Structure 1
Amino acid sequence: MNTDQLPVDIREFAAYLSGLLARLNPYEGWYGVFRERDPEGLRACAEGLEVPPWDVVESLLQDLAALHGAPAAEAEHEAARALHIASAAAYDARPGGREALGSRLDFMAAEQRRTTGRLRELRARTPLSQEEASELEYDLAWTEDDHVRARARCGELQARLAELDRRERAARERAPGGPGGRAGESGPTALTGGALVPEQRAAVDAGAGQQGIAAGRAARRAAARAAERAQREDAGAPEHGLAEDELSAEGARPGAGRDSDGADTGVEYGPDSSMRPVDDWPGTGAVEAPGRAARPSGSEVSGGREESLDRGESTGSWLRLKRRSRGGARYAGGGQDTAGALPETLGEEGPARPGRTPTGARFAGVAEESPALAVEPESEAAEAEQDPSAQREIAATVDELRRLRAEGRTGEAHSLLAETAQWPESRYPHLAVALRRAGLASDWDTLLWEASSLPTGRLVAVAHALMGARHEAASTQLLRQAAARPADELGESVLELVTEGRGGDVRAVLDAFLRARSAQDAASLARVAPRRLVPLLRESAAAISPECAADLGHALRVAGIRG
């Protein structure tokens, strides 16, 4: 589906998520874990094809806090939550939404029952040696984690189904255009006249915006609707008959969490923060996420809430919590039984499963929809124009990647992709074709994530080359990465592009920036060199929309910037 055809709430959250990812270190923290395990799933979420579980977003905010300080993450938390709630609600309302939610609820209820039995079995064991005691402690911790997560997901899914019922009842009781507002909404479209505190408004403006400043205003409306829902008292969802004493002491905390539409589920999505999130890669032992000085609550990743509801498909691979003693509910189906201690940091790369194009432990069914690899005939025809020596190098690299993947040597494959990202931008379109033909779609996505760390000038050059070869989705993704960088840093990069005479690249970067960032951010960028940057910003804003141009002008006046 074209991004422009998506509902506005989904587009706004996708734009926010893309910008958030661009501000994180792709090699560290939870972002590094997600990126290694499911690059296609991340890409799908950043482009609005999927909605990630809320815990994933909170974990990314946890990474943001580690890089930029807790206040930076806290300032965005509420706006991110509102955007996510609105996006998830839009997915739930699509055809097949109720069936998909019901299917996932049945699956998670079965998982609750399985982990309950497993906990009883493990607690009844008596270890005969220190080694067995360590193994038992390890298995018990993971099973408790799986149990808590399954319970939390049941609560969330039940609450979402209840909210869907409520919206459908409201739609039947209120005709479209009536005094209650748009059919299917619960009351006014803004809370007390759309009142958001300035911090909320600034955070929403900074994070959302596929359509420039207009998107920020739409995000404020979504935030108001979400806040209204969140303020309603809710007794919490039933818990599929699981007794509270079946939970670990480090399990869910009553009243700590809310479902994806803002209703209290009576349980936080994930275990207590004292039980730090871990996962394992086959063959490397478990990996423990680095600790955080000030982590947002509920930051542990919960891989069990997949949002592809428009297709009405089954639970999806990232909900299939396979029996295992190594691995948790976050990355279902990805664990193998491996011994070993828990590393303190995300230092090792885990090997990929041979011959598998990962659909993701969290985001199922996206491998079939890879717009970044939708290579047009022109791209394949252009391959013949590639320098013969470059063709040979590309072919050798693809063969090497295929061999490394088949042998499970993921760390070496990742290093090779990191080196490949430094290649000239003219090779990227040909790499896309070669990787697609070799069945290495996930490696293409990984290569794009590697490219996102290039200097802005080079990053834009790669995006330009991909756009010229009809890889529009990949080009747009990279431009979003560039646009999400700090405004002052991006301003300096734009000046360099101007000096180099790259006018087309300047326009592309500023267009992406104005669509994804607030007018206040644009003023910050202009402050780097007002006389040179203000005219360029005004030109790009005018090309987007009159409203975008007006908002930019207002922000420049308020900031006292002339140009």
Structure 2
Amino acid sequence: MTVHQLPVELVAFTGWLSELAGRLRPGGGWYGVFAARDPDGLRACFDGTELPPWDVVESLLQDLGEPPGAPRAVRGRALHQAAAAARDRAPGAASTLADRLHSMEREAHAAAARVHRLADMPGPELAWARDDLRRARARVVELAGRLERVEARGAAGPVPGLGPGPGAAPAPRLAPPPAPAPGPAPTSAPPPPQSTRRPRGARYAWLDSADGGQAAAVPELPVGGAPPRGARFGGAPGAPAPAPVPAADPGQAERAAGNAVYALRRLRAQGRGGDAHGLLCEALAGPPGWLPALAAELHRAGLAADWATLLWEAASLPPARLAAVAGALADAGRPHDCDQLLRQGVARPVAELAGACAVLSAEGHHAEAQALLAAFLRARTPADAARLAALDPAALTPRLLAAARAVSPSRERDLLHALRVAGLA
């Protein structure tokens, strides 16, 4: 009987992953979603026969309330990269990665088409479709990077670790480099035929098949991280407030923006549009206060379409991060960008919207908080608004009524009726 020994790097990562899972509630959050949807695939990740995509690991960290820069997340990221490098040194890795990349590009196209079809129907279906798209795009970037490093080693000779061989030109990155985060990347593969089936594999890239049937009842997405509590969220007991975001240094912001635009142009000149898009969206992991400088630089360079794409992706950020970006845009005198971001963010679950509204208010951005609620009322049903108010009736009910009054008298009447039915007015 042949015994296959796992690489030590993969053993180290699976040990870390198992320790992380031991701290989570099995039936709750993203952990519960993954376990219910694909227990065999999740088990394969824990025993080391498969390596989960980083966005899956990041979701488990969010269940635990771990921000990307926390020590546990940083260590997990390093172990995951080392495990990926070990797997990619195996014979045939380039072919395997290329096949998975091609499959994930198709998933990204299918998810994008589904988001487009559901764009006028806000609700859980759209939220899941946007999550499928975010994950698929993140995995395109992850797989493409791994494949590029494998091919660079093949061209320059074996090189230990993650680094490419001599003479290989890695994609330029923002300076200083931000914390790792899933970055979207458009692909050039032709879109698949239209299908009424739910996109398969966008959440579970380590499997080639999944149940393509449409669920009868669509649950809401798990809320990333712990629910908003603490002094910044109305004084309710619970988890401590997120650490304040440091003020942006204007000089650093301008230098980073200039470097990003230079790198974007260079990558596109080389025909590496996917890398260019992924690099652009890494800005969302950096200081929010740097984004206005990037917006200005992109517009000066004639790249306004890239800024519009960046705002669209920012609308899917976790609540506190969304609020931080909106606040930074408002503070920098870019109210149109701020309003556009908030309008695009109203499709997310009501619990996340409550968190974003609370952060905006706690930071003194009351006008932006009201703009978020007004955009929510224009796009969502009165019943959705009542569900939002129920999360914090004392704070949200009067704000929602004020926002509805500013939208239209009929919207205020509909909201008041929904609140009365819910026992909140």
State the TM-score, normalizing by the size of structure 2.
Answer: 0.43
Of structures 1 and 2, the one with the larger relative CO (CA 8 A, separation 6+) is: 1
TM-score between both structures, scaled by the size of structure 1: 0.34
Larger radius of gyration: 1
